[in-house]
Structure 1
Amino acid sequence: MNNVSTIEFHAGSKEELLPGFESDFTYIASRAELDKFTERFVPWHWHKAVELFYIESGLLEYCTPKGKVLFPAGSGGMVNSNILHMTRPLTQLDKNIQFLHIFDAAFIAGQPGSRIEQKYITPITAASQLEVIALYPDNAAHTQVLDTIRSSFQLSDKDFGYEIKLRSVLSDIWLQLLSITKPLLEEKNASNKINDKIKMMMIYIHDNYMKKLTISEIAAASYSSERECFREFHDNLHMTPVEYIRNYRIQMACHMLARSRESITNIGHACGFESSSHFGKVFREYIGCTPLEYRRKMAG
């Protein structure tokens, strides 16, 4: 299991990059140390793989375009395939630790078009109304699946038959989730095209954050008007396009400060800031320290 405290993106698609996710074994397990993420939150992202998780300690908030869901210690859930989401810890009194299984649904579905995929997998992954499945220990119907999720992280890749045991337990969890969500799956729900529009605009920002950006350019990336651009960012990401651009630039700056020896001036310029003084001012507003202090902190 990998300890993670940062997030990276694929070039082109801008989905989350999942280190260790291989074509012959489309699965990774992670222990997320949420307090160590830049600005203490995991920025907006998505991935084709589903995300099954358990909250070991702290209090975590999941945000999607449809709203927010809180997960205290002992709870857990699943984020569906290709769902735009961000997370942040809401307590500083305890460590905020999350365990995650991230896997392609084909890992348990088998061959594309199989009876297993059609009967058990697609009903969940194709349900746009199921962005996040929340499980709580005070709900009797959720207790068993939470126990199974928690114990599943005790599997070791050193054990004989690990891959088969893992697929078996994930299949068991999936069946329990299918049973719990059956009433929601029977609801009719229109396809969420806004999710795709937001992704297209985010991809444009990710590809061009180092340059001067205009709202009209961002809007055009999703064939929207400037007014639609503002509304979609506000309604779905709860921030303006400009705020998102600044957030992303700061994330990239933090990554470069921690992992490269480039000068602070060059990093500021590479991340789209007009001057060193502007970079320093915005960085302090978002991170609470200067770029140099941040670099020293990460080096220590």
Structure 2
Amino acid sequence: MRIIRSLEFHSGSKEEKLPDFTPEFPYIASRAELDYYRELFVPWHWHKAVELFYIESGELKYCTPNETLVFPAGSGGMVNSNVLHMTQILTSREKNIQLLHIFDPDFIAGKCGSAIEQKYTTPMVTASQLEMIPLYPDDPAQAAILNEIRQAFQLSENEFGYELRIREALSRIWLQLLKLCSPLLQNSSDADAGKTDKIKSMMIYIHEHYAEKISISKLAAAAFLSERECYRVFQNCLHMTPTEYMRSYRLQMACQMLAQGRESITEIGLSCGLGNASYFGKIFHEYAGCTPLEYRRKWQDNTKK
């Protein structure tokens, strides 16, 4: 199991990078030690891989375009393929540790077009209304699935047959999840799928042009929307305005440059589209609770340890 203390994203798409995730074996098990992350949240992102998680300790909030759920220790769930989501730490009283199975649905389905894909995986991953499946231990059926998820982390990568054993375990969990959410699969919504496609197109445009001045008209045009629709889609999916998302993303990029680079504060402010050093310093302090220089010292010192 890999220990994760930070996340990286592909430039532009904001799709999460998954180290050691290969076509030959599209699965990784991770122990996310969230208190080591630079921020108290993981920003909006997506990935084709399914995210099956268990909260070992602490408390975590998950947001998707249509749901906000809180997961205390002992609970868990699944985030569906390509679903936009973000997470936020809710407690500092104890360590926040999350265990994750990340896998491509093809890992279970096998060959493209197989009967398993058509009958079992496709109905779940193509259900736009099925963003998350929450699991809580006070429900006996959900508790049984949580137990299976937790036990699957006990499989050793060095054990003979590990690859087959983990696929067997995930297949068993998948079948139980499919039964659990079968009532939801009866009501598909093409409108939801179209909405998330639009927001992703506009997010990618911001990620590729954040250093520039971005007008709402240009942003809306990237998804073939009117300005009014642009505002509506951002509010419905990310629960913020386009301007708020642009500012948040620019500040995230500034944090990354401060922690990893050597550019001056002025250069970072300008290259992230956040203005001169004075204005950048003001809005950065509102965002991070410290000056850009203090932030740099803190995280570059942590890297050296």
Query: For this structure pair, what is the TM-score category when the shorter chain's length is used for normalisation?
Result: over 0.9
CA distance in 1, matches of 2:38, 2:245: 15
Where 2:31 maps in the other structure, the secondary structure is strand
Report the 3-state secondary structure (helix = DSSP H, G, I; strand = E; otherwise coil) of the residue aligned with 2:28: strand
CA deviations on 1:218-239 (whole Å, 9 max, x unpaired) are 1111111111111221222111
**SS in structure 1 at match of 2:39:** helix
In the TM superposition, what whole-angstrom CA distance separates every residue of 1:93-116 from its partner, at most 9, and x where no partner exists? Answer: 222211111111001110000011
Match of 1:70, SS state, is: strand
Q: AA paired with 2:175? A: L
Q: Distance between the aligned counterparts of 1:12 and 1:133, measured in 2?
A: 28
Contact preservation (8 Å) 1:39, 1:286: no
What is the deviation of 1:3? 2.6
- For the pair 1:283 / 2:294, whether they are aligned, the reply is no
The residue number in structure 2 matching 1:190 is 190
The TM-score normalised by the length of structure 2 is: 0.94
Measure the CA separation in 1 of the matches of 2:12 and 2:244. 22
Flag structure 1 segments of 5+ consecutive residues without an equivalent.
Answer: none
2:42 paired residue number? 42
Give the secondary-structure state (helix, strand or coil) at the position aligned to 2:53: strand
Partners of 1:13 and 1:273 in 2: how far apart? Answer: 21
Measure the CA separation in 1 of the matches of 2:101 and 2:171.
12
* Distance of 1:219 and 1:90 partners within structure 2: 34
CA deviations on 1:156-208 (whole Å, 9 max, x unpaired) are 22222221111111111111111111222223433421111110000000001
CA distance in 2, matches of 1:79, 1:64: 9
Q: 1:252 aligns to what?
A: 253
**2:121 alignment partner AA:** I
**What is the aligned partner in structure 2 of residue 32 from structure 1?**
32
- Matches of residues 161-176 of structure 1 in structure 2 within 5 Å? 161-176=161-176
Per-residue deviation, residues 18-40 of structure 1 (Å, max 9, x unmatched): 12211211112222222333430
Quick one: structure 1 residues 278 and 156, their matched pair in 2 at CA, closer, same or farther if it must change by over 3 Å?
farther
How far did residue 213 of structure 1 move? 1.3
Conserved in 2, the CA contact under 8 Å of 1:234 and 1:240? yes
The correspondence of residues 115-130 of structure 1 with structure 2, limited to 5 A, is: 115-130=115-130
**What is the aligned partner in structure 2 of residue 214 from structure 1?**
215
C-alpha contact (below 8 Å) 2:12/2:207 kept by paired residues: no
SS at match of 1:102: strand
Q: Which runs of 5+ in 2 are unaligned?
A: none
SS in 2 for 1:227: helix
Cα pair distance change 1:56/1:201, threshold 3 Å: same
TM-score (structure 1 length as normaliser): 0.95
Do 1:34 and 1:88's aligned partners in 2 also have CA atoms closer than 8 Å? no
Decide whether the 8 Å contact of 1:38 with 1:251 is kept in 2: no
Give the equivalent residue in structure 2 for 1:61.
61
Contact 1:54–1:74 under 8 Å retained in 2: yes
1:71 corresponding residue in structure 2: 71
Q: Which stretch shifts more, 114-123 or 230-239?
A: 230-239
Partner of 1:155: 155
Structure 1 stretch 75-84 or stretch 94-103: which is displaced more?
A: 94-103
